[in-house]
Amino acid sequence: MAKVLKVLIYPDSVLRQKAIAVSEFGKSLAEFVEDMSETMYMYKGIGLAANQVGELKRVFILDTEWRERTEETKKVDKNPIAYINPEIISLEGSIEYEEGCLSIPQVYGLVERSETIGVRYQDVTGKSFEKELSGLNAIAFQHELDHLNGVMFFDHLSAFKRRTLLEKFNKMQLEKDRDSKGD
User: In terms of CB distance, is 25 or 166 closer to Zn ion?
Assistant: 166
For the bound state, the minimum distance from the C-beta of residue 102 to Zn ion, rounded and expressed in Å, comes to 6
For the bound state, the minimum distance from the C-beta of residue 69 to Zn ion, rounded and expressed in Å, comes to 21
Annotated catalytic residue, options 87, 112, 115, 144: 144
User: In terms of CB distance, is 130 or 172 closer to Zn ion?
Assistant: 172
Q: Determine contact, residues 100/112, Cβ cutoff 8 Å.
A: no
For the bound state, the minimum distance from the C-beta of residue 127 to Zn ion, rounded and expressed in Å, comes to 26
Q: How many CB atoms lie within 10 A of CB 118?
A: 16
For the bound state, the minimum distance from the C-beta of residue 101 to Zn ion, rounded and expressed in Å, comes to 3
- Secondary structure class of 81 (helix, strand, coil): strand
User: In terms of CB distance, is 122 or 156 closer to Zn ion?
Assistant: 156
Positions touching Zn ion (CB under 5 A) are: 101
Residue 104 makes CB contacts below 8 A (sequence gap 6+) with 9, 10, 152, 154, 169
Q: Determine contact, residues 77/41, Cβ cutoff 8 Å.
A: no
Q: Determine contact, residues 96/111, Cβ cutoff 8 Å.
A: yes
Q: Determine contact, residues 79/65, Cβ cutoff 8 Å.
A: yes
User: In terms of CB distance, is 117 or 152 closer to Zn ion?
Assistant: 152
Let me know if 144 is a catalytic residue.
Answer: yes
What are the residue numbers of the active site? 144
